[in-house]
Every structure is written in C-alpha cells, then in structure tokens.
C-alpha cells in the first residue's frame, strides 16, 4: 500500500536551534502534503498544506516564518521549526493522498516527537 515515511521519529533540540523534519512518499508521487501537530490527548491540528513547486498554504494562526515548509520534489516535503522554543514541543505528523491505484484515504507518516529543552 501507499507509504509515507517521516524522519526523524523523535528529536531533542536546544532552545533557539532549528530542526528539520522530512516527509517522503515512498511509492507514489504527492503534489500536495499536509503537516499537522498534535498535543497530548488532543486531536490533530492542521498547520499547513505543502504544495510541490510553490509556496505552502498556512492555516490561520500558524507562523509561516517559524514553520518553514519546502516541497521541492513530488516525493519530499520538509518542515523546519526555526528558533525552537519549549512551547514548540509537540508531535508533528505529515500526510499525503495517494492517487489512483491506491485504495483508501490519506496516508500518514508515523510522526515526529519534538522536544525542545
């Protein structure tokens, strides 16, 4: 089936540094990918829509200068958390919609646990 690979699965960084999270579609091309964040015991919150070859579309309240998204190819989108602070600690998840030939809805990565210390 369609697979989305997310890396790293967990990362600890110091406050003020930047962290990059990768999201790859392994067996399909994805012109659109989505980035979510999730706090403990809460639902997923959509942060932005990543569009291949163009700028990302951010949801209201999400700082585009803090959460940099790059979708340089049809199989890779990256989320960079810049100047991370402890309040950015969260679970980040990406997703993509496989095209024809794959049954089902969206495919999600396994998530990245970011801890800022």
Partner 1 sequence: LAKTTQPISMDSYEGQEVNITCSHNNIATNDYITWYQQFPSQGPRFIIQGYKTKVTNEVASLFIPADRKSSTLSLPRVSLSDTAVYYCLVGPGGDDKIIFGKGTRLHILP
Give how far Cα 104 sits from Cα of 20, 24, 96, Å. Answer: 29, 18, 12
* Residue 58 binding partner 1, by CB under 8 A: no
Helices (H), the chain: none
Our CB check for partner 1 shows the closer of 16 and 26 to be 26
Q: Is 44 in the site for partner 1 (CB under 8 A)?
A: yes
Of 68 and 91, nearer to partner 1 (C-beta) is 91
111 lies in the binding site for partner 1 (CB under 8 A): yes
Four-CA torsion 51, 79, 92, 2, nearest 10 degrees: 50
Among 43, 54, 60, 100, binds partner 1 (CB under 8 A): 43
Does 39 help bind partner 1 (rule: CB under 8 A)? no
Q: Can residue 49 be called a binding residue for partner 1 (CB under 8 A)?
A: yes
Sequence-ordered list of residues with C-beta below 8 angstroms from that of 28, at least 6 positions apart, any chain: 2, 96, 98, 99, 101, 102
Give dist(CA 4, CA 24) in Å, integer.
6
Q: Is 36 in the site for partner 1 (CB under 8 A)?
A: yes
Q: Which residues bind partner 1 (CB under 8 A)?
A: 4, 6, 31-32, 34, 36, 43-46, 49, 91, 93-95, 97, 104-111, 113
């Amino acid at each position: 089936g369609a697979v989305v690979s997310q890396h790293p699965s967990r990362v600890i960084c110091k406050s003020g540094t930047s962290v990059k999270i990768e999201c790859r579609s392994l067996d399909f091309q994805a012109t659109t990918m989505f980035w979510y964040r999730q706090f403990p015991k809460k639902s997923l919150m959509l942060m932005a829509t990543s569009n291949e070859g163009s700028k990302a579309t951010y949801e209201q309240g999400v700082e585009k200068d803090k959460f940099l998204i790059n979708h340089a190819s049809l199989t890779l989108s990256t989320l960079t958390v810049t100047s991370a602070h402890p309040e950015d600690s969260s679970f980040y998840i990406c997703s993509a919609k496989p095209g024809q030939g794959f049954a089902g809805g969206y495919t999600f990565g396994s998530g990245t646990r970011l801890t800022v210390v």
